[in-house]
Amino acid sequence: MSYIQQVRDTVAARNVGQPEFMQAVDEVLTTIAPIVESDAVYKNNAILERITEPDRQIMFRVPWTDDNGNIRVNRGYRVQFNNAIGPYKGGLRLHPSVNLSIIKFLSFEQIFKNSLTGLPIGGGKGGSDFDPKGKSEREIREFCQSFMTELARHIGADVDVPAGDIGVSGREIGYMFGQYKRLTNVYEGVLTGKGLPYGGSLARTEATGFGLVYIVQNMLETIGDGFKGKTVAISGAGNVAIYAAQKATELGGKVVTMSDSNGWIYDKNGINLQVIKDIKEIKRGRIKEYTDRVNGAEYHTDDNVWQTKCDIALPCATQNELTLADAKTLIKNGVIAVGEGANMPSTTEAINAFQAAHVLFMPAKAANAGGVAVSALEMSQNSQRLSWSFDKVDDKLKYIMRDIFDKAASAAKQYATPADYVAGANIAGFLKVAQAMIAQGV
Ligand code: NDP
Ligand code: 2IT
C-alpha cells in the first residue's frame, strides 16, 4: 500500500463521521501524491501523519440567556491545526450546521490557503452551532461575549488570530474584541475584520470578493479573456458574494444571480448592488425582498442559481453547494470559468467534471485567499500601529492574488498538469508548510 493510501486509511479510521474533513483531506492527499512520492523526506518525517492531525481541538460550552430569560447552551469550537509558518489564523463561523467535521475541514484547508498567501500565518478555524438568524442585538452581543470568555484563554496576537466567516461580520468581531480586552486588559490585534475606528484595515470587508475576481481575471487572461462582457452567476448574498459581484461588475461583467438559504434571484439587467447591500448589510433581510424593489427581477425557490446560463460561475455561499448535476448543467450551458469564493463549494465529482470538460477552475484555497491575506495585512498594521490607505491595501491584494495565481500555475505545470490549479494550489501550499515542519523538528 502506498504511503499516501496508508495515511488516508488511518485518518479515515480516526475521524469516523467527519465527511467534510475527509473530503478536504482526500483532495489534498490525492493531489500532492507526485511530490510526496518523489522524495522520501516526507515519509521519513511523517509529514502526512502530522499535517492531518490538528495541534489541538478545543470544544467548549457557550451559555447565554435569550430575551425571554431562558438559559441557552451552544457548543463552541476552535481547531488550531498547524502553526509551522505563523500564528494560527482563520475565521469563526456561526451557523446551526457547525460541527467538528466542518470546523476541521475549514481549519485544514486554511493551512494551505494561508501558506499560499506568502504571509506568515498558520491554519486555524472556529465557530459555534449558534444560529444568529432572528436573534436580537442583545442576544448576539451576549452570545459573542460568552463565546469569547472561553476563547480568550486560547488566542492572542502571536498565538491565534480569529476573524469572520459565515454569520460573523464586523458587528460580532466588535463584541468579541471588546470582551477580549476586558478579560485580558491587552489592546492587541487579536482579531481581524475589526471596525475601522479600532484597528480594522481598509479593504478587509471587500478583500475576499475582490481577490476572487482578481484571480479569476488572471486565470481568464491565460486564454486572452476577462470579465468584460461576460454573464456571471453568483451564489450567496453575504460578504464574499456582495464584493465579488461589485468587482465583477466594475470589470465589465454582468452579474445576474445571487441567493440566500431560502431562494435565489435572477435579474437579466444585472443585479443592483445598492439594493442588495441595503437588504443584506443594513436591514439583515431576505433576498426575496429584491423583487419588491427591482422591476423585472425573478425570485425562485426551486433548483438553484447554477441552472442559469452563464460564462463565469462564482459559488460564494457554503460547502458542497455545487454538485455534479449542477456542474453538468453549467458545462452544457457553456461555462468558461469557475472560481470558488466559498470554502469547498464544489463537490469532488463536480470538480472532476469541470476539469474533464476543460473549464478553467480556481479552487477555494487560492481563489478566496484574499480575505485572509488582508487579515494578515491588518495584523501587520496593528503591530506597526499604523493604518494604510484603501488603495495601498487593494494594490497589495492584487499583487498577492497574482502571486498566488503564479504559484499555483507553476506548481501545476511542474508537478501535475498545466492549468490544474487544484493540484497546483495544494502542492504550492503544502511545500512551504512541509519545509517549515521538517526544519523545526518533531
Ligand atoms: P455570510 O454569512 O456573509 O454570507 C453567507 C451567505 O451564504 C448568505 O447569503 C447565506 O444565506 C448563504 N448560506 C450560508 N450557509 C448556507 C447554507 N447552508 N445553505 C444555503 N446558503 C447558505 O458569509 P461569507 O460571505 O463571509 O462566507 C461565504 C463563504 O465564503 C463561506 O464558505 C466562507 O467560509 C467563505 N469565505 C469567507 C471569507 C470571508 O472573508 N468572509 C474568506 C474566505 C472564504 P443565509 O443568510 O440565508 O444563511
Ligand atoms: O475562510 C477564510 O479564509 C476566512 N473566513 C477568513 C479568515 C481570516 O482570518 O480572515
Q: One digit per residue, pLDDT tens: the chain, 442 residues?
A: 899 999 999 999 999 999 999 999 999 999 999 999 999 999 999 999 999 999 999 999 999 999 999 999 999 999 999 999 999 999 999 999 999 999 999 999 999 999 999 999 999 999 999 999 999 999 999 999 999 999 999 999 999 999 999 999 999 999 999 999 999 999 999 999 999 999 999 999 999 999 999 999 999 999 999 999 999 999 999 999 999 999 999 999 999 999 999 999 999 999 999 999 999 999 999 999 999 999 999 999 999 999 999 999 999 999 999 999 999 999 999 999 999 999 999 999 999 999 999 999 999 999 999 999 999 999 999 999 999 999 999 999 999 999 999 999 999 999 999 999 999 999 999 999 999 999 999 9
Among 113, 114, 208, 393, which residue has the most ligand 2 atoms within 8 Å of its CB, making it the best to mutate? 208
The minimum-distance atom of ligand 1 relative to the CA of 344 is 32
Sign, Cα dihedral of 7, 9, 12, 15: negative
C-alpha 421 – ligand 1 centre gap (Å): 23
CA 404–ligand 2 middle distance (angstroms): 16
Residue with cell 466594475: 250
Separation CA 312–CA 338 (nearest Å) = 6
List the Cα angle 189/193/195 in 5-degree steps: 90
Give the ligand 1 atom nearest the CA of 164: 41
Please identify, by atom number, the ligand 1 atom nearest to the C-alpha of residue 163. Answer: 40
d(CA 57, CA 125): 10
Question: Which ligand approaches the C-alpha of residue 346 most closely?
Answer: 1
CA 160 to the chain's CA centroid: 17
The answer to whether the beta carbons of residues 351 and 326 sit under 8 Å apart is no
Residue 225, Cβ density class (10 Å: 0-12 exposed, 13-18 middle, ≥19 buried): middle
Closest residue CA from atom 4 of ligand 2: 91
Q: How far is CA 94 from CA 100, 123, 227, 285, 417, in A?
A: 13, 18, 33, 17, 38
Spatial neighbors of 302 by CB under 8 A, at least 6 apart, are none
pLDDT of 1 reads 87
Compute the C-alpha angle 28/81/184, nearest 5°: 155
Dist. CA 436–CA 45, nearest whole Å:
12
**Closest residue to atom 4 of ligand 1, CA basis:** 238
Query: Which residues, judged by CB distance below 6 Å to any ligand atom, belong to the binding site of ligand 1?
Result: 95, 97, 164-167, 208, 236-241, 260-262, 316-318, 341-343, 368, 371
Distance 39 CA to ligand 2 centre (A): 32
Q: Where are the alpha helices (DSSP H) in 316-418?
A: 324-332, 348-356, 364-367, 369-384, 390-415
Edge-to-edge strands, sheet with 231-235: 298-300, 264-266, 254-259, 231-235, 312-315, 337-339, 360-362
